[in-house]
Amino acid sequence: MGPVEERRRSMGTDADRSTEVREGFARSEFHRTFLGAQLERVTPGEVDVSLLVETRHLNLTGTLHGGLIATLADTATGLAFRTTLETGTTSLTSSLSVTFLRPGRPGTVTAKGRVVKRGTRFGYAEADVEDGEGRLLARAAATFTVMPEPAT
Amino acid sequence: MGPVEERRRSMGTDADRSTEVREGFARSEFHRTFLGAQLERVTPGEVDVSLLVETRHLNLTGTLHGGLIATLADTATGLAFRTTLETGTTSLTSSLSVTFLRPGRPGTVTAKGRVVKRGTRFGYAEADVEDGEGRLLARAAATFTVMPEPAT
Amino acid sequence: MGPVEERRRSMGTDADRSTEVREGFARSEFHRTFLGAQLERVTPGEVDVSLLVETRHLNLTGTLHGGLIATLADTATGLAFRTTLETGTTSLTSSLSVTFLRPGRPGTVTAKGRVVKRGTRFGYAEADVEDGEGRLLARAAATFTVMPEPAT
Amino acid sequence: MGPVEERRRSMGTDADRSTEVREGFARSEFHRTFLGAQLERVTPGEVDVSLLVETRHLNLTGTLHGGLIATLADTATGLAFRTTLETGTTSLTSSLSVTFLRPGRPGTVTAKGRVVKRGTRFGYAEADVEDGEGRLLARAAATFTVMPEPAT
């Protein structure tokens, strides 16, 4: 570990990670332009992401496409996990599991991610996906592989 | 059950269901316009859906967003399952589970869905998500609840 | 539906279901003799099941076998779900998913199941699996198919 | 890395790993005495484990307990994964997901595990659980965390 790496490790804090998450989301064409999602809340270990559901997000049956529920859950759990990473490490989502409990309708839908475990090689987070009245639309679970950040 | 419904039940065949899947996909703003996916293959119990991955589909790290892999898998398994439904019944996806094996890159990505079980109340399908060279990017599993089609 | 069946339906209450769960567990050779588990708590929608972990339950590495964690979670979610069934209906577990967070050791391990959704055709429950100090060893999720009880 | 470790790494072969799996299973009180399972087949990346289902393995409804299906799947995927590990590494099962497709009955039930991916930090394997006539009772998926073997 060279001196630059060492400095980064010693500086690493939760606040840095939360800032990184906010800045990354703001730069993400996928999240901001394509998906049209909003970053509602970032605290260490918890991130909420919302989507204003419009016609283009719906199935032919008029309900929110399950893939978008999965995408919101993937985003909320992945960003929540990112806030907990130690400096010098990064992570990949290894698996995502979503159980659909109630159809989503036009209006606001929010995925609330929270980290349950952040180990040195493995992590686990969950999300509730709720509609604007706080009704539970889906429950999701994600696992992560933690690894050293590639040198840049 | 009125006379029209009765006729549909007696006429119900796999070919009808495949046609329904093709027509529904063609009408789906979500799949065609928003997601930009293509329906590649529809046979009884198997449906392939592809996406030409472009910049707007990528994470900040330059890889295909996991939510889109989940969306393709959800679509391929859901449509594959739909081809197997008996006339007078419909289905909802109850759960979707995706394991991410390799990062996706710009280029074509295809989700290949196939039905493993179609019961009278429960169903199960799987999907391989592959890149243009046939490398496995993800494996997915979906469960379904089967129910009588609401009278229209 | 004969008169006996009719009477059972009209009498069905949560209390009946909890009693059924207790009586079934007491009669179950699998749970009582083979597994050696204890039914710790039965309330509508929640069931706790514990196991005193002994040498025969361990992996070669000296930790509780993951299959037993899955078995406890399956039992706790399945029995919790059973307490919520309406009279005249029964259920099957359709899927079980367990994430292992910490190795289990000899001592008491408890799976705490709770129902999140009980629909007319589909249900969902979760479980925490904890050691004697309340540390979370695993999180589990189960889905259920609900169906009419076969005539006896 | 000291000389002993170095020797072990240079000697490590698939054949060694298969032998380790066979010897470990033979020593395992959990698998041999408590569960009563048999190791049917060990090849690099694939392991089959069977159980002669008897009365003590059944639910009150007379079908094989789902926890035992999960246990067989956990064992077959875990041992299959172990055959693929490089010398000097070990693994833990991070998650296990089982979808139940058909009830199991007394007679032989076999879980056939196969590795889909063995990375340096993450792995993935699947299993078919079949009855004596080759009917599919369940499909299972397991993920693994790979790590350096602790010095002994």
**Average pLDDT score over chain A:** 90
Report how far residue B17's alpha carbon sits from residue B14's, in angstroms, rounded to the nearest whole number. 5
D64's enclosing H/E stretch is none
Going from N- to C-terminal start, the domains of chain A cover 3-148
Residue among B30, B56, B70 whose CB faces A58 most closely = B30
* Contact call for residues D113 and D47 (beta carbons, < 8 A): yes
Chain C positions contacting chain A at CB under 8 Å are 97, 99, 101, 116-117, 124, 126, 136, 139, 141, 143
Which is more confidently placed, B11 or D96? D96
* Banded model confidence at residue B152, pLDDT cuts 50, 70, 90: low
Question: What does the pLDDT read at residue B10?
Answer: 39
Which chain D residues have a beta carbon less than 8 Å from that of B139? 116, 124, 126, 141
pLDDT of res. A148: 96
Distance CA B67, CA A34 (A): 12
pTM to 2 decimal places: 0.91
Chain A residues closer than 8 Å to C116 by CB: 101, 136, 139
Nearest to A74 by CA among B52, B75, C130, B100: B100
With cut-offs at 50, 70 and 90, classify the pLDDT of residue A114. very high
CATH no., domain C3-148: 3.10.129.10
ipTM: 0.90
Residue D151 pLDDT > 90: no
Q: Does residue D119 contact residue B99 with C-beta atoms inside 8 Å? A: no
Which residues of A fall within a CB distance of 8 Å from B58?
Answer: 29-30
- CA distance linking residue B93 with residue A101, whole number of Å: 10
What are A83-102's pLDDT values in tens digits?
Answer: 999 999 999 999 999 999 99
Q: In chain D, which residue's Cα lies nearest the Cα of C75? A: D67
Angle subtended by helix axes C66-82 and D66-82, to nearest 10: 150
Q: B6 pLDDT exceeds 50? A: no
pLDDT tens readout for residues C123-152:
999 999 999 999 999 999 999 999 999 876
CB contact under 8 A, C117 and A97: no
Out of D99, D141, D143, name the one closest to residue B143 (CB).
D99
* Residue D72 to residue D38: CA distance in whole angstroms: 10
Angstrom CA distances, A7 to A10, A19, A88, stand at 5, 18, 10
Model pLDDT for residues A39-72, shown as the tens digit of each residue? 999 999 999 999 999 999 998 888 999 999 999 9
Residue D7 scores a pLDDT above 90: no
What is the residue-wise DSSP string for chain B?
--HHHHHHHHH--HHHHHHHHHHHHHH-HIIIIII-EEEEEEETTEEEEEEEE-GGGB-TTSSB-HHHHHHHHHHHHHHHHHTTPPTTEEEEEEEEEEEE-S---SEEEEEEEEEEEE-SSEEEEEEEEEETT--EEEEEEEEEEEEEPPP-
